[in-house]
Structure 1
Amino acid sequence: MSKISNAEAIAAWSTMPADVVSAYDDQGDYPKRHLMNANLLRMLGALDGRRVLDAGSGEGYFSRLLADRGADVVAVEPADALRARAREIERDRGQGITFVQADLAELPDLGRPFDAVVCSMVLLAVPDWKAAMAACVAALKPGGRFVFSLTHPAFEDLFGIWSKYGHYRLDRYLDDYEMPGDYAPDFHRPLSAYLNQIISLGCRITEVCEPGLDPQVAADSGVEGTESYVALPNFVIISAETDG
């Protein structure tokens, strides 16, 4: 059981300073650029003309990648600071993205069902994650696709631990617990919790991706410890579909 509510987590994320929010680039950050984005887009499939929900869109970088590929994007983000930055960029670029402020566990009426929902690096930060996942699935049309990503529960703090010890150490996996963050906690849950929950919602898992970093990209970074992303997956991406 989480010690904080969704509302408290949202309030905490809303305190992110403007300079931190604006530090994201058009690909998000290094791990997203080299490990996440291409896999998310591949697993979502064809996007041109499709209606896509970006659930927990943050400052909107992935919503913009979706819109660049022809998707009709609705982006839901509860935190004030992140949504404000996303709307500021949308005013400049005019990509036609609809930004909505809402708790993912209590989605408002967003119109007709979606062809796809993406929820990237979000559920691990949501106290009431089961309700949020259920709302994402409920927003899909029959045969719709749900793609979500997480920090891999078996390899959290991969870079930090590898940099300290030269290998990875893990001594606590099966428990649920909060992990302190700069603004609000993330939550450790075993991977089976997410997989079993999506199955219980009537979805069929179509792919589980554990992306590894290209060794040359790691070498070119010049940053000691980046080789950990070659050896072990810091992230996991799951694709599932509703009954058609």
Structure 2
Amino acid sequence: MTSRTNESAIEQWDSSATHEVMDATAKDGDFAKRHLVNPTLLRLLGDVRGRRVLDAGCGNGYFSRILAERGAQVVGVEPTHTMSAFAREKEAGLRQGITYVQADLAHLPDLGGPFDAVVCSMVLMAIPDWKPAMRACVDAVRPGGRLVFAVVHPAFEQLFSTWREHGAYRVERYLEEYEIVSPVASDYHRPLSAYLNELASLGCRLREIAEPGLDPAVAAETRRTTPAIDSYLHLPNFLFFSAEVTGG
């Protein structure tokens, strides 16, 4: 476990977000987001035209902008000042109609009524006290609407670096909950059952779990410069949940 608070985690992410990195990933994220995360999230969300969608923990706003391009009415919530300011700066230039709000996901303000869908991409595993944030996301969805979220796969964390070192994946601690310290900001390991049980306790109906692997053609194009890319062919680094919110 960790003694870090949500507030200190937000400060950690805030101080690590540089304009250079945000600008480089402003269109569609990094390599993993482009080839593994974004396509899966978009498939699970389905047709978003005319739908009201909350991008919970939107970071620099890149996925909010993708959703807006597909016709969604988007509200993006981001707790860090640096990334929410960058997202608003982009919106000022692009004028896509996205509303960005700086707020802690565990304490969402009034966002103008329920959403047809909430997407929470690569966020929950970065929150020390994550259950209030998941509850807030569920509460933001209209009955019958959809919550779609993605986390680093708890069975295959640090997949790329471990494969690069050993040529295979190794895991020693799965059942415990603990902090994973990194130079950027910490993530928090918790087993798959923690997310599933919390969804059940909130009255959600699980519709799908996805564990995508990398397209072999993309791996072939990248292998020369990134040999450990084969890890993404054999094991899933990301885990996706799609759940229907029943409204109690």
Q: TM above 0.5, one fold? A: yes
Letter in 2 for 1:142: P
How far apart, in 2, do the equivalents of 1:4 and 1:130 lie? 15
Letter in 1 for 2:245: T
How far apart, in 1, do the equivalents of 2:116 and 2:14 lie? 29
Letter in 1 for 2:228: G
- State TM-score, norm by structure 2: 0.96
**Corresponding position of 2:133:** 132
How far does residue 85 in structure 1 lie from its aligned partner after superposition? Answer: 1.1
**Corresponding position of 1:33:** 34
1:3 equivalenced with 2:3 (yes/no): yes
1:172 equivalenced with 2:186 (yes/no): no
**Corresponding position of 1:12:** 12
Q: Which runs of 5+ in 2 are unaligned?
A: none
1:197 equivalenced with 2:198 (yes/no): yes
**Corresponding position of 2:234:** 231
How far apart, in 2, do the equivalents of 1:210 and 1:35 lie? 9
**Corresponding position of 1:213:** 214
How far apart, in 2, do the equivalents of 1:182 and 1:96 lie? 35
The 3-state SS of whatever aligns with 1:109 is coil
The 3-state SS of whatever aligns with 2:39 is helix
Letter in 2 for 1:240: A
Q: Over aligned residue pairs, what C-alpha RMSD do you find?
A: 1.0
Report if the CA contact (8 A) 2:26-2:61 is conserved.
no
Letter in 2 for 1:146: L
1:39-79 deviations in whole A, cap 9, x for unaligned? 10110112000000000000000000100010000000001
Report if the CA contact (8 A) 1:124-1:187 is conserved.
yes
Between 178-187 and 48-57, report the one with greater CA deviation: 178-187
1:69-109 deviations in whole A, cap 9, x for unaligned? 10000000001111111111111100000000000000001
Report if the CA contact (8 A) 1:21-1:81 is conserved.
no
Question: What is the percentage of aligned positions where both structures have the same residue?
Answer: 59
**Corresponding position of 1:186:** 187
- State TM-score, norm by structure 1: 0.98
Letter in 2 for 1:12: Q
Report if the CA contact (8 A) 1:51-1:72 is conserved.
yes
Aligned length: 244
How far apart, in 2, do the equivalents of 1:210 and 1:167 lie? 18
Structure 1 runs, 4 residues or longer, greater than 6 Å off = none
Q: Which runs of 5+ in 1 are unaligned?
A: none
Report if the CA contact (8 A) 2:178-2:190 is conserved.
yes
**Corresponding position of 1:102:** 103
